[in-house]
Structure 1
């Protein structure tokens, strides 16, 4: 325990040190202390706004997960998500997300009539924060009552506080055999072949970063289902990453941890476009099907996205009444 005199001395030294630091800052910048205080406060707020979208997204997802737990307990439900009693809870979550998309991003979905009534593999471009995909599956469910299974990274399967949300939408991460089985049962399944690499290291030119991945194409061939291309306008202007900085790329390639800072959360206009399905062809190889899918998504991109992307233009498009629909 410090004595009263020692505490007083420590406080005096702290004040002297603080006064000295303030004096140095004032001399160096030519700005009074109270101005520096407000400048620092503004910078802190800007930092939170720019670099907190991932955290906000996770917190919001946890909130939805909490609502589902309340719904589950209130209705005495078990983990059988095929039970019709879960439909109201699923509709509640879909409605909340859909409303957020409409209010914050003026979200629109075009070409939903192109999605076949039977099974199909939806392939989409992966933005830094795939909030557009969440809007898509929620709007799909609200308008048609159809669920779309989502292939998600194993990282998400380990995150606490969102498991009920993932199971209800639902998210899967069991590999190729599970994916084929889901499609053979007549369901829709979606995948972003670019995954975390595309999310973190693609840029305003919307390059597809698929590497040599062709497992999704083999799944479509094995399940004998069409591929439906999907692209969202301005998704990279809503949120961006610091993936261009060499250290972050080096860190990801060695750890495979998607811990690259994400910034943004800007209320840009988001429009998701569904492309023409690529029908099942028993004579096509997985490599050829990958190439056809790439071309289909790039055509959607080139038709609906001005390149390179611009945050200012994407914000102004919220007020553009002449958006292209197809």
Structure 2
């Protein structure tokens, strides 16, 4: 009975609102106008705002479909660690690396700083983590070495989960991270995460919360932390809509993704700093602060701030990296 009364009240309010709207607009039949709206136009605005993400999602869906066919053709029923997955990983690695070379003249400086054993690569999260993707591809294509990556659990959507699994993305629980490190692998983590991707800017400010999970994982697994920063990353892609309201909304939901624009063929150079060795005398908070300072040192040394898209494009013609 209560539901019936509520429905009647809602209907009365809706009728009153429509009547007021008719008087204000002068339209006699709003239903005729509403029926003339093509649903496509309603979807057009979000499609335009998020066209980059739509393209990335569709590309991942296509790749997952190809991988699914490969899986069925080769009767792969085991885990993602099955040796039969090595060839698709090589294909993906070479394709992504070739794209990086052609479109961004991608370089990695300091590859020798990566330990031969396990370690955590901690990096600045750009609007789009293209630099990190290029590093994962280069390591596998040139060294045959897997770099596993912590990804948000909401990224493992139907249609793209298979490709994420194949390229080494994992949900960033403490157990998962320690397990990967105990197996002798490298693991990549962006402590700033989506917050930094959304709300940092061309000044490359690190937007980290108070969490120290990555540092605690490094201490528990007794592995070094390797700082990483990529020059001109914010000139390749930038976000729009960094308002207080949207930041408040993000902090409440942790799911908001701001629209981005870009894809500019700017010069990208990834700098890998010296490892921060395991030290049992450090707390997680102290280790996290050391990692943050190490990334800021790389940024201050190699990135002109504020970033400039035209300058970043012109750096495609520099044959050698320069300290800034």
TMscore range, shorter length: 0.7 to 0.9
2:167 is equivalent to residue 198 of structure 1: no
Q: By how many angstroms is 1:325 displaced?
A: 8.5
> Which moved further from structure 2: 292-301 or 253-262?
253-262
Q: State the distance in 1 between where 2:323 and 2:304 align.
A: 15
Q: Which residue is equivalent to 2:97?
A: 98
Q: Which residue is equivalent to 1:179?
A: 177
TM-score by length of 2: 0.82
Is the 1:119–1:184 contact (alpha carbons within 8 Å) kept by the matching residues of 2? yes
Is the 1:230–1:297 contact (alpha carbons within 8 Å) kept by the matching residues of 2? yes
Task: Give the gaps of 5 or more residues in structure 2.
Answer: 1-43
Q: State the distance in 2 between where 1:222 and 1:259 align.
A: 32
Residues matched between the structures, number: 279
Q: State the distance in 1 between where 2:308 and 2:199 align.
A: 17
Q: By how many angstroms is 1:205 displaced?
A: 0.7
Which digits, 9 at most, give the CA deviation of each residue in 1:207-245, with x for residues without a partner? 111121111101101110000111111111111112422
Q: By how many angstroms is 1:160 displaced?
A: 2.1
Secondary structure of the 2:126 match is coil
Q: 1:283 aligns with which of 281, 284, 287?
A: 281
Q: By how many angstroms is 1:181 displaced?
A: 2.0
Q: By how many angstroms is 1:79 displaced?
A: 4.2
Q: Which residue is equivalent to 1:86?
A: 85
Which digits, 9 at most, give the CA deviation of each residue in 1:105-136, with x for residues without a partner? 11111211111111101101001111111111
Q: Which residue is equivalent to 2:214?
A: 216
Q: State the distance in 2 between where 1:295 and 1:259 align.
A: 27
Q: Which residue is equivalent to 1:57?
A: 56
RMSD: 1.9
- Within 5 Å, which residues of 2 pair with 1:229-308? 229-308=227-306
> Which moved further from structure 2: 57-66 or 85-94?
57-66
Q: State the distance in 1 between where 2:225 and 2:252 align.
A: 32
Q: State the distance in 2 between where 1:174 and 1:189 align.
A: 10
Runs of at least 4 residues of structure 1 off by over 3 A?
none
Q: State the distance in 2 between where 1:256 and 1:174 align.
A: 15
Is the 2:249–2:256 contact (alpha carbons within 8 Å) kept by the matching residues of 1? no
Which digits, 9 at most, give the CA deviation of each residue in 1:158-189, with x for residues without a partner? x2211111111111115112211221221111
Q: State the distance in 2 between where 1:94 and 1:135 align.
A: 8
> Which moved further from structure 2: 132-141 or 256-265?
256-265
> Which moved further from structure 2: 316-325 or 301-310?
316-325
Q: State the distance in 1 between where 2:256 and 2:67 align.
A: 27
Q: State the distance in 1 between where 2:66 and 2:230 align.
A: 28
Q: By how many angstroms is 1:289 displaced?
A: 0.5
- Within 5 Å, which residues of 2 pair with 1:40-79? 52-79=51-78
Q: By how many angstroms is 1:306 displaced?
A: 0.7
Q: State the distance in 1 between where 2:322 and 2:64 align.
A: 35
Is the 1:149–1:188 contact (alpha carbons within 8 Å) kept by the matching residues of 2? yes
Is the 1:229–1:296 contact (alpha carbons within 8 Å) kept by the matching residues of 2? yes
Q: Which residue is equivalent to 1:8?
A: none
Q: By how many angstroms is 1:266 displaced?
A: 1.2
Secondary structure of the 1:229 match is strand
Q: State the distance in 2 between where 1:177 and 1:76 align.
A: 30
Q: State the distance in 1 between where 2:235 and 2:176 align.
A: 34
